[in-house]
Structure 1
Amino acid sequence: MATLTGRDTRSHTELPTFAVLTDQGRVRLVLAGSIDQLCMADLEEAVSETVRTGLPVEVDTRHVTFMDSAGIGALRTLAITSPHGVTFIEPAEVVRFLLHVTHLDATVEIVRKG
């Protein structure tokens, strides 16, 4: 991950993490921590890997603590390039807000479990 200062001062829970998990005919993109411009190269790679599978996509953002416009832009790219619909599983409040203000909530499915 690149930083502007050469040192990342975010706490452990704010550090961005990405995982692309494939199971039973679907792929899940898991995001956690603070998703911002500093981690865009990693997020863009995770989005590209997710799309390349050609499988239905689930996005898990339950543990996202912050997301800026670059982060929601990458998720928009996922939504428009995925060959199948994209489902968000219990998105964090900040992600739900960004999905709403960008009108992505009209093009993706949002699922609340439990």
Structure 2
Amino acid sequence: MNQAHLTVSQHITDDGVRVLALAGEIDHTTTAILRQALDPEDGRALDIVIDFHDVTFMDSSGINILVAANNAARASGSRLSLARMPESISDLLHIVGLDDVIALYPTLDEALEAKHAA
């Protein structure tokens, strides 16, 4: 059985938004990687935008991580947004109703612009 792979690259924009770019699969074997990337290293509560452009698969494990991350962001006064969702993952989020809870944007620029407008 092949184990899924997930890589995360991240940076903080000049105005303090953490951008996480994911590549690979999100399932029970990779959730620790995503969970660790979502935890702020310095304890600062920053708005987070996750770029899903290179994600090829996500199951309920990923949904659980996103729900927890969204709840943590709201509790700390920050926000979580998702950008560039592949259609299959966007459809999954729609089916479970997560697209009504977490903002989804077609492009990374639109997600970052929305952070400025808020």
TM-score normalized with structure 1 length = 0.77
Alignment pair present for 1:110 and 2:101:
no
Return the letter of the residue paired with 1:49.
Answer: P
Distance 1:46 1:28, change over 3 A: same
Alignment pair present for 1:21 and 2:20:
no
Alignment pair present for 1:97 and 2:87:
no
The CA RMSD over aligned residues, in Å, is: 2.3
Alignment pair present for 1:88 and 2:82:
yes
Task: Please give the per-residue CA displacement for 1:10-32, whole angstroms capped at 9, x wherever unaligned.
Answer: 6xxx6311123212210012211
Task: Give me the whole-angstrom Cα distance separating, in 2, the residues matched to 1:20 and 1:81.
Answer: 19
Maintained 8 Å contact 1:26/1:56: yes
Sequence identity percentage: 27
Task: Give me the whole-angstrom Cα distance separating, in 2, the residues matched to 1:80 and 1:21.
Answer: 22
Stretches of structure 1 that go unaligned for 5 or more consecutive residues are none
Aligned residues: 104
Task: Give me the whole-angstrom Cα distance separating, in 1, the residues matched to 2:42 and 2:96.
Answer: 21
Task: Please give the per-residue CA displacement for 1:16-72, whole angstroms capped at 9, x wherever unaligned.
Answer: 111232122100122111111111221111122389431111110011101111111
Maintained 8 Å contact 1:27/1:50: no
Maintained 8 Å contact 2:10/2:21: yes
Task: Give me the whole-angstrom Cα distance separating, in 2, the residues matched to 1:33 and 1:47.
Answer: 16
Stretches of structure 2 that go unaligned for 5 or more consecutive residues are 110-118
